[in-house]
Amino acid sequence: MRTLFRFPLSVVRFLIAALSAAALSAQAPSTVDSQTFLQQQLGPPPALKSADAQRVRDLVAQMTLKEKVGQMTQLEIGMVADGRDGDLRINPAKLRKAIVDYGVGAVLNVKDLALSPAKWHELVGAIQDAASQTRLKIPVIYGLDTIHGANYVMGATLFPQPLGMAATWNPQLMLETSRIAAAETRAADVAWNFSPVLDIGRQPLWPRLYETFGEDPYLATVMGAATVRGYQGTDPSKPTAVAATLKHYVGYSFPTSGHDRTPALIPEITMREYFLPTFAAGVKAGALSVMVNSGEVNGIPGHVNKYLLTDVLRGELGFDGVIDSDWEDIRKLVNIHHAAATEKEATRLAVLAGIDMSMVPSDYSFSDLLVQLVNERAVPTSRIDDAVTRILTMKARLGLFDDARGGSRAGTQIGSAASRAKALEAARESIVLLKNADGVLPLARTARLLVTGPTADSQPSLNNGWTLTWQGDRDAAYPKDRPTVRGAIAARAANVTYVPGAAYDKELDVAAAAAAARQADVVVLCLGEKSYAETPGNIDDLALPDAQLRLARAILAAGKPVVLVLVEGRPRIIQPIADAAKAIVLGLNPGLEGGTAIADVLFGDVNPGGKLPMTYPRASNALLTYDHKAFEEQDTSFGLTAFRPQFEFGFGLSYTTFAYSGLEVTPPSPQFGQPVGVSVTVKNTGGRAGTEVVQLFVADRVASVTPAVKRLKRFQKVMLAPGESRTLEFRLTRSDLSFIGPSRAPSAGGYNGGPLKPIAEPGAFGILVGGLQKDVTIR
């Protein structure tokens, strides 16, 4: 018997908005190409108003040393409040000590659980009221990690994690979702966002991979610039904008061990080719702050690496905003890195290296020690003035001097139906169809379905860390009106059985699941990861836990078609079961609307168009990226093939098909330095409308620094109706054909040294688009 439901008005509004968005999406024109979009996002924030600049100068001139050092100090909320979760309460004595006695410039974080907007207004309001009672009335800036939406504001709109957003290959959508995230964060009177993560995700073991935009510097550059512009807009002082923070500068994401906050070994040529470009673009997009790498690169901890912080970031990249430490990382120079004998010495080294603000965050040691160091002339006053000027300038750019609580008065509706519809759109576009043998998908609504596996009924798996709590693992805190994969499937099909089968790393009822599989027409097997963030997510092996593999084998042995749904934040190895599965669908933490989005794809309500933003490895120790060197790919002496991933970077299937033709390069023999035009035609040769991401790669055939087999240089996402074709045009410039190398060309004797910089050399290049290739010689 069918049950009729009466839906709340909010749900009705969301459904109307979602259906409208889906209809619009199906008819939407293509976006501009990636490079045109990128250029539109670059450009500094508006010049600081002369009155604000004068105010900053006047304040710095009036401030005592203790007040200046206070502005450089960032404390966690527990230093001014008592309690936990939603029961946080301002402690007047603590508040006075922090804001009045020490003049603290910044506060951050929650105590475990996301807070309601009203609670945020209460807490931040009390902090700003205390600041208004100080001698100079300098507002405090509050900071949070808004990673995939305002994830520490109850009721906020949550989107796919950044790696999932990268799978959309849709920078316009990244811009729009970032605007929503900024507005809902600022609505809580929080003006500083510790995002985006611009670390390049080239180490798949790393537990923060899902916070990145994947392995490719160009894709991450475009998506990262969109995020910065979405957060800050063209005027960060608006009450719907927040300060963006480029993190974690630089090399944090490439630890040798794969573990969080552990050493990385990155030659400078690799650093400049792969790890610096995203940060350079973020600076050009006008980001107001940078957070520093908690680990170390080549034996030098990020927080004392003056070369990278001052010479490169300030000098070469031209960054003039605030450089913030990460959690307790100055103290960790003593007890973790052993780079300083005392915390006082660590403080001196970090400030002189370029740190402007210290996330202490749970005591006043930084303030006390830095005052001592200045009085002892171990740190010059000029360095303090420089840091404080940058901090006050950021506050002025955000409009905090004019109205420190403007966000709560802006009228932003947190978690509106329109915002949720945008989150659903993003989740749908993020889903990647990796395999569809024998047309097993879309599923028939009349089929007898078994749903099983540890990620089938888990909102924490769909969202991952930085969701309501740091680890994202408090299932009871998630909203009850957002279906899991199981719930969304059950809402669409008439005959659905659910058997858990296994937890993340523990068998539950494998035999029962296998028995149910034998009675089903199709099995939807949901595997993957539980939620995690940072160090608690460390693993030593990308293989799925044994319990999940045993469940998978038992299900496959039942002999029914299996649709493998992967819900994860990094590519877990599926080689033992991939060939036997009829279909494979990947959800890279698609967020609160992820269950709905996955079901939409499974039943064909949405035609999948996501593409991998990383290489999906076949084996745990075969972790080459797509842009590896030619001699890593095969050894012709022995016929060994080293690069054979499960799925390649940029791969993703659709329920329709596309054909490429007419690849042309103009002029056919370009002169060195002359722009190169590339055109190609793509046609929808299938029976339903679909989106295709047209990806343009360049292969440098011979170079003085051994070239990658190919590098992504342009992309564009297009929607095509059945039978429709479109010719796309791209323009490559000298910089697209360059690479990082020595400034002095190699002589007959070989490498000739010199500083590293972008260089371009005439020669043969391959232009690769959609399986087509054109060779061109640049003379």
Which residues are identified as catalytic?
326
**Rama region for 44: left / alpha / beta (φ>0; ψ in -120 to 50; rest):** beta
Kindly give the residue spans of alpha helices, DSSP state H, lying in 7-148.
9-27, 34-41, 50-62, 65-71, 92-95, 117-132
In what helix (H) or strand (E) does residue 448 lie, and over which residues does it extend? strand 448-452
Kindly give the residue spans of alpha helices, DSSP state H, lying in 194-289.
217-232, 268-270, 277-284
Contacts of 683 (CB under 8 A, 6+ apart): 658, 659, 660, 661, 720, 723, 724, 725, 726
Can you read off the two tokens belonging to residue 356?
């402007």
Going by the DSSP 8-state scheme, the letter that residue 98 receives in this structure is I
Beta bridge partners of 679: 664, 729
d(CA 561, CA 183): 45
**Cα 108 off chain centre by:** 20
**β strands within 296-444, DSSP E:** 296-297, 300-301, 322-324, 358-359, 432-436
**What Cα–Cα distance (Å) separates residue 478 from each residue in 152, 463, 693?**
12, 10, 33
Beta bridge partners of 765: 700, 776
In what helix (H) or strand (E) does residue 728 lie, and over which residues does it extend? strand 725-732
Can you read off the two tokens belonging to residue 704?
């003085």
**Cα 273 off chain centre by:** 20
Kindly give the residue spans of alpha helices, DSSP state H, lying in 470-539.
485-490, 510-518
Let me know: does 401 contact 139? Beta carbons within 8 Å.
yes
**Rama region for 562: left / alpha / beta (φ>0; ψ in -120 to 50; rest):** beta
Rg (CA), the chain: 26
